[in-house]
Amino acid sequence: MNITGNTIFIPGATSGIGLALAERLVAAGNTVIVGGRRQELLDEIAGTHPGIDTVRIDTADAASIAEVTREVVSRHPRLNVLVTMAGVMRVEDWTVGPDVLATAEETVTTNVLGPLRLIAALLPHLQEQPDATIMTVSSGLAFVPLRATPTYNATKAAIHMFSESLRLQLEGTSVSVLELEPPSVATDLLPGQRESAFAMPLDDFADEVMTILREQPDATEIQVERVGFLRTRRRAASTPRRSAR
């Protein structure tokens, strides 16, 4: 992915990782459109970041995705990058009974159906561009799960496999598929995560992602150093062991 000269749509970027990357992408010479559900946050971003366009979108709502993607393409016909940033993370305990299913279904709708619907809506337009990119957002937990968040882990594993599969289908076209694989980052994704000593500082994460994009334009997986051990651990676990003789 070229780091400059793009028109980039980032649904789910009114805070956290999405907004931090949006700010840096604008500074790098890109046109950026941020999407989100909360109008007050969009208004705040528009007021404090005059270089960022905003649009209200609910990525858990198929009708909202269909309507807003048409609007974004109409306003920004040179759109050539989609970043499927929106996601939710919920602590679950599957041992306590079926009530957990409501939370799980919400997580699947936002984390899996949302990105798939966005990609389906915008891929025909992206295929018409001379150089386009889809950046999905999975997680280090796609490879080594966290006990407290089983559905979140599963949705991110699904996004990882979908990204790899879509990359194969789009091979030889003008559309590249990147997968951003964050570690725990100091955001409000979970209560207390922003203050967690284990979480990577947000600015450090966003700066390192931009460095990777700048220095490795042909990368297919964007992994900061802090998440690499999870990816490596999964690869090692999936490598067949030879029996001793």
pLDDT for 231 equals 67
Is 152 an annotated catalytic residue? Answer: yes
pLDDT for 197 equals 81
What is the band of 193 on the pLDDT scale with cuts at 50, 70, 90? confident
Q: 65-82 pLDDT, tens per residue? A: 999 999 999 999 999 999
Backbone angles phi, psi at 222, to 5 degrees: -100, 105
Give percent above pLDDT 70 in the chain.
94
pLDDT for 97 equals 86
CATH T-level topology, domain 7-238: Rossmann fold (3.40.50)
Active-site position among 53, 68, 149, 152: 152
What is the pTM assigned to this prediction?
Answer: 0.91
Q: 11-42 pLDDT, tens per residue? A: 999 999 999 999 999 999 999 999 999 999 99
Q: 92-106 pLDDT, tens per residue? A: 999 998 999 999 999
